[in-house]
Structure 1
Amino acid sequence: MANLKEVRNRIASVSSTQQITKAMKMVSAAKLKRATNAIVQLRPYANKLKDILSNLSASLEASHSPFIQEREPKRVLIVAVTSNRGLAGAFNMNVIKATNQLISEKYAAQYREGNVSLVAIGKKAQDFYEKRKYQVIGNNNELYSALTFENASVIAESIMKGFVDGDYDRVEVVYNHFRNAAMQFVFTEQLLPVSRPEPTAEDKTSKVDYILEPSREEIVDQLIPKSIKIQLYKAILDSHASEHGARMTAMDKATDNAGELLKALKLSYNQARQAAITTELSEIVSGAAALTQG
């Protein structure tokens, strides 16, 4: 009977876990809707702003804006965007792996010289790199408590200032790009210096002729900082939506796995109970036969 009690306890434990994972799936589904709306609304604006900026800045001298000046990447800053919580499958670890790969393959020399710094957005990346003694700048774990453009701009302005002051020669962002609830892809993008596409024959024929007021230079001076802030904000919103999608998918699978485990446990419980009943019946029959013979 002790075996039956053990199985009953496991059934109760798995049932409780299944209720928790089901509730977490529903919560993530509700949050995913809001996060998806936010990134879907921002993407067209961010992409169009990037196109306009590329069109306007393509003909500018690199010396005109400090944000488009290409320098030898002696000092590198990597922005790793994760979440504050786990239980989202491989969501956080994928970003950490991509960041480690970026450092080991592209910036190995800079890392050996101690010239690779990190800005972690999310507690998971913060804890991972602080424990391994990386140069982690600041603490941005509270950003997700109030995820707004203004709060994300504070981080972007700090990064932009470091780039202008020469603290970093290149800034790259590693984050999960949201495709749908079941699919997230890790992207690595260069945030600074702002990339200027090389003009091609096709670009010249399809180039949009904007009417500029007051001047191309003044407009670009305003657009470049705004575009940098928008691109970082978009990466954070992408990651935020991906987090809830990954957690919803992980909790859905966990709920299904708990259901399968419950079936196996209940089958095991029924088999053990039938075996116990059969044993008791055999003992009763054996006892009755012994009394009859006596």
Structure 2
Amino acid sequence: MPQATRDIQRRIKSVKNTKKITKAMELVAASKMRKAVAKVLSTRAYSDLAWQTVLHLAKKVDTSQHPFFQPREEIDNVAVILVSTNRGLCGSFNAQVVKKVVDSIKVHHPETRSTDIITCGTKGRDEARRSGLSIVADFAKEDITISSETIRPISHMITKEFLAKKYDRVFVAYMDFQSSLRQIPHVKQLLPIVADIDERLGHITHEKGKVEEINVDSFSDFLFEPSTESVLDAFLPRLVEMQVYQAVLESEASEHSARMMAMRNASDAANEMIDELTLVYNQARQAGITAEIAEIAAGSAALE
């Protein structure tokens, strides 16, 4: 019996040490989440308004003036930017994003000859490889992206390949941050830019005030200075870059939130295990004491 109680004590000590680690990781993830959410909030308004502006342009300008507006008649090759994490311990985060990509391929473009995956994040890359997806490029990802310059090589690559007609459509797959408790995997079309694709990347903990709808049909035309071609050439690549950047920020906020909740659940599970082991320890200790008292009583009775 003493050996059993010592084993239980060792298990309790081990679980307590694990709880200290998960609690520390929860606090670190919470700190990173606050920074990531602040970045999302600071860029979301610009990203949304820029996207709405170009969708208004797509309804009024001659789409033949720029290749970013021109949909391809046949969809043979598709590229998907997969934004994931570099670290684990965040639940099924990466598995959900990859599953969303696989489902999107089956539903939206099953007849394409090839779907190339461009990964940003090592865990998503490994998950995509296990799922049998074709990875053509892998870009390094930071825990917290400081500026859009970090993802500029990705946007340059996809715009260059789209203009060269290597890809007929370009998508970005990421985890859309709704709140610290809710994240949704999402696939968004980037190129070509057409008026009926998704306009928003999501909200955090409340519904943002709706932007007043503008009836562009009431406008006779848009005036571009110095020329339509020069304005679109400067604006549209920057817009694509901003959408990729916003998707990365959304994914980072989702990642740290998911990791914080995973570590919190692990700490709660450790508390429950400690309570259960403590109860078992007390029962074993009480049983040992009872046995010792019974032995003393039996010995005393034998001497009498």
Q: TM-score, normalised by structure 2?
A: 0.87
**How many pairs does the alignment contain?**
287
Question: How far is 1:130 from its partner?
Answer: 2.5
Corresponding residue for residue 70 of structure 2:
69
How do 1:243-262 residues align onto structure 2 when only pairs under 5 Å count?
A: 243-262=255-274
* Gaps in structure 2 of 5+ consecutive residues: 198-212
Matched, 1:97 2:99: yes
**Aligned mates of 1:209, 1:2 — CA distance in 2:** 87
How do 1:1-294 residues align onto structure 2 when only pairs under 5 Å count?
A: 1-71=2-72, 72-110=74-112, 113=113, 115-144=114-143, 147-197=146-196, 203-204=215-216, 212-292=224-304
Q: Are residues 138 and 204 of structure 1, via their aligned partners in 2, closer, same or farther at CA, if it must alter by over 3 Å?
A: closer
The one-letter code of the counterpart of 2:253 is A
Instruction: Say which is worse superposed, 81-90 or 143-152, in terms of deviation.
Output: 143-152
SS at match of 1:120: strand
Instruction: Say which is worse superposed, 234-243 or 91-100, in terms of deviation.
Output: 91-100
Equivalent residues of 2:144, 2:252 under 8 A apart: no
Q: Are residues 25 and 207 of structure 1, via their aligned partners in 2, closer, same or farther at CA, if it must alter by over 3 Å?
A: farther
Instruction: Say which is worse superposed, 60-69 or 36-45, in terms of deviation.
Output: 60-69
Equivalent residues of 1:56, 1:216 under 8 A apart: no
The one-letter code of the counterpart of 1:223 is F
Q: Are residues 125 and 8 of structure 1, via their aligned partners in 2, closer, same or farther at CA, if it must alter by over 3 Å?
A: same
Equivalent residues of 2:174, 2:187 under 8 A apart: yes
Equivalent residues of 2:29, 2:260 under 8 A apart: yes
Equivalent residues of 2:36, 2:144 under 8 A apart: no
**Aligned mates of 1:209, 1:11 — CA distance in 2:** 73
Q: Are residues 29 and 102 of structure 1, via their aligned partners in 2, closer, same or farther at CA, if it must alter by over 3 Å?
A: same
Question: How far is 1:275 from its partner?
Answer: 0.5
The one-letter code of the counterpart of 2:189 is Q
Q: Are residues 208 and 183 of structure 1, via their aligned partners in 2, closer, same or farther at CA, if it must alter by over 3 Å?
A: farther
**Aligned mates of 2:218, 2:275 — CA distance in 1:** 62
Question: How far is 1:205 from its partner?
Answer: 5.6
**Aligned mates of 2:227, 2:288 — CA distance in 1:** 90
The one-letter code of the counterpart of 1:105 is V
Q: Are residues 215 and 2 of structure 1, via their aligned partners in 2, closer, same or farther at CA, if it must alter by over 3 Å?
A: same
Question: How far is 1:164 from its partner?
Answer: 1.2
Question: How far is 1:207 from its partner?
Answer: 5.5
Equivalent residues of 1:55, 1:207 under 8 A apart: no
SS at match of 1:84: coil
* Gaps in structure 1 of 5+ consecutive residues: none
Any runs of at least 4 consecutive aligned residues in structure 1 with deviations exceeding 3 A, and if so which? Answer: 141-147, 204-212
| CA displacement 1:103-133 (0-9 Å, x = unmatched) | 22233332xx4x1110111111111223444
**Aligned mates of 2:145, 2:245 — CA distance in 1:** 13
**Aligned mates of 1:197, 1:31 — CA distance in 2:** 35
Question: How far is 1:277 from its partner?
Answer: 0.9
Question: How far is 1:189 from its partner?
Answer: 0.6
Q: Percent identity?
A: 34
Equivalent residues of 1:143, 1:152 under 8 A apart: no
**Aligned mates of 2:55, 2:243 — CA distance in 1:** 14
**Aligned mates of 1:262, 1:34 — CA distance in 2:** 33
Q: Are residues 209 and 250 of structure 1, via their aligned partners in 2, closer, same or farther at CA, if it must alter by over 3 Å?
A: farther
